[in-house]
Structure 1
């Protein structure tokens, strides 16, 4: 067990006992001082931007500053570990991201979604399947038919690093079609932007990043989005069909962001935070901010978020084992 994880479990155990002293009456006075909101990723990215609008609106709703602190490193391990290690008193919360359902499978940490108190899921961005404007494939059905009869690794795709969320999305899609995990060769990239440039340059056949990440190039007419791996169409991009609609394949996954706290947070404080987050989610300010950037908005309360993370954890585990990335 890493040093970070040892500290996480030790601190959480001590702090959990202290949290039980909080009564519903005390929770009604929460928060009585500033709250820290930890972001496991760097400033300027989508996770940071989402956290900052949530923090600003929580401050308006609850009357105390919510200070965003970026804790980067270890592919998300450092920030998630710091959230888990904090005292479960409501004064340190954080942004939980899809990587918490992935990192332990890679033996990067022993942390799992069960090390947190889920408060609310607020954002979900499914991957799209994108091709360049010069691609001969006009629909995902045409693309899938060609992939099925092609020799393994003839088609090349990218969207993120090896074993990242968009790679695992591709693996899951192949599995859903009854194909090997390596039917399409994955070319690692430093993110969606360089992958889309490689797509335009002709070195890739497709990318599987989110639609918002690819939208600038799609909107410019240089690429096409053939489908999204989601249960329903995104109202921001209503012309892009789901895999089930276009191909009859009932498969969906996503990159997601939600707010959580250390395990052991008093139920009354958790309920107060979840209620405040729901008001943030329902606000015009939040929805305008997210939709203008193309970010998907979805609400799942604490219980629904917990179930969602369990499902995501199992799904990521299956994909990682199929692709040979699982170490745990």
Structure 2
């Protein structure tokens, strides 16, 4: 699998011309003064404006009302989210430093085995899964393909002419694109690495790259405005936001289903009463119709899992990601 930085890709191209009631009842009986007693910070290891930031800010807005304290979102992007994650891993496990990230948190340790400075499982407490969302598979409108199968034919006929953008190395969109190319039997099409969805989508709209698999929060406006053409969505069912766009399975990609999921963590060693307080707060927030409606409007769905279930889910997802990485020969560096 070929991977290029944006700069090296553009240089090459130029040289070649061209995120209820029962949960409330389940809340632990903590005195109001126990936790929290001061503001909470949610670390987001991605840039502002992307899908992780969007889910985190929706959640933070509700968490401040749930816990009756100030909740601040702090972006610490860089190194595929590992700068922010490393900061959280070193923080005091007192419930005042929280961490929201996407599935990339569980992908990075599979890619950066030699350079990662923390254990993505052991150095964190998995509090709850919050949401998930299918990706949109879209292309620049000048690409002469209106279906997934037509695009596959183009890639096979002239692989050097086309490319995929990804918002970050190891992101859900990166692995989805790699899985697609592997299952389609296409090895030569490059995946161009960007630092966030914004620059990736900008170059896709501008025609410097050909295609992307990206969360709806960032890609949907471009599709709705006609700046991008959606070929498929990667969920198990069509999105109500794009009812005319088929799923990857409907488009002929057997068993292809991929989601970007979003979770809440803290540093490892979180006291049990604080864990239960946060776990119950997340359950209540994600169960409210208002939160579900806001998520749905952005292409996400509430997907709450408690700490134990989220931990088990992470284990199963990491096994699936490892299979994709090994099959597509994805390596860091």
Q: Are 2:66 and 1:61 aligned?
A: yes
Match of 2:181 among 174, 177, 187: 174
Q: Are 2:76 and 1:71 aligned?
A: yes
Q: Are 2:163 and 1:156 aligned?
A: yes
Q: 2: CA distance between counterparts of 1:222 and 1:72?
A: 27
Classify the secondary structure of the residue corresponding to 2:249. Answer: helix
Q: Could you say which residue in structure 2 is the equivalent of 1:211?
A: 216
Q: 2: CA distance between counterparts of 1:309 and 1:193?
A: 27
Displacement of 1:116 after TM fit? 1.9
Q: 2: CA distance between counterparts of 1:98 and 1:249?
A: 23
Displacement of 1:101 after TM fit? 1.6
Q: Could you say which residue in structure 1 is the equivalent of 2:37?
A: 33
Q: Are 2:266 and 1:261 aligned?
A: yes
What CA deviation, in whole Å up to 9, does each residue of 1:123-152 have, x standing for no partner?
3233322123343322213323444x4365
Q: Could you say which residue in structure 2 is the equivalent of 1:234?
A: 239
Q: Are 2:306 and 1:298 aligned?
A: no
Q: Could you say which residue in structure 1 is the equivalent of 2:136?
A: 128
Classify the secondary structure of the residue corresponding to 2:246. Answer: coil
* Structure 1: runs of 5 or more not aligned: 1-23
Classify the secondary structure of the residue corresponding to 1:249. Answer: coil
- Asked whether the equivalents of residues 89 and 118 of structure 2 are also in contact (C-alpha less than 8 Å), the reply is no
Q: 1: CA distance between counterparts of 2:183 and 2:208?
A: 26
Note closer, same or farther for the CA distance 1:269–1:201 as it changes in structure 2 (3 Å cut). closer
- Asked whether the equivalents of residues 159 and 192 of structure 1 are also in contact (C-alpha less than 8 Å), the reply is yes
* Structure 2: runs of 5 or more not aligned: 1-27
Classify the secondary structure of the residue corresponding to 1:96. Answer: strand
Q: How many residues align?
A: 301
Displacement of 1:243 after TM fit? 1.1
- Asked whether the equivalents of residues 108 and 170 of structure 2 are also in contact (C-alpha less than 8 Å), the reply is no
Q: Could you say which residue in structure 1 is the equivalent of 2:91?
A: 86
- Asked whether the equivalents of residues 287 and 302 of structure 2 are also in contact (C-alpha less than 8 Å), the reply is no
Match of 2:319 among 306, 314, 317: 314
Displacement of 1:175 after TM fit? 2.7
Give me the CA root mean square deviation: 3.0
Displacement of 1:297 after TM fit? 3.8
Note closer, same or farther for the CA distance 1:262–1:157 as it changes in structure 2 (3 Å cut). same
Q: Could you say which residue in structure 1 is the equivalent of 2:20?
A: none
Q: Are 2:277 and 1:272 aligned?
A: yes
Q: 1: CA distance between counterparts of 2:60 and 2:41?
A: 9
Note closer, same or farther for the CA distance 1:203–1:121 as it changes in structure 2 (3 Å cut). same
Match of 1:249 among 239, 249, 254: 254
Note closer, same or farther for the CA distance 1:95–1:146 as it changes in structure 2 (3 Å cut). same
- Asked whether the equivalents of residues 157 and 186 of structure 1 are also in contact (C-alpha less than 8 Å), the reply is yes
- Asked whether the equivalents of residues 193 and 214 of structure 1 are also in contact (C-alpha less than 8 Å), the reply is no
- Asked whether the equivalents of residues 51 and 95 of structure 1 are also in contact (C-alpha less than 8 Å), the reply is yes
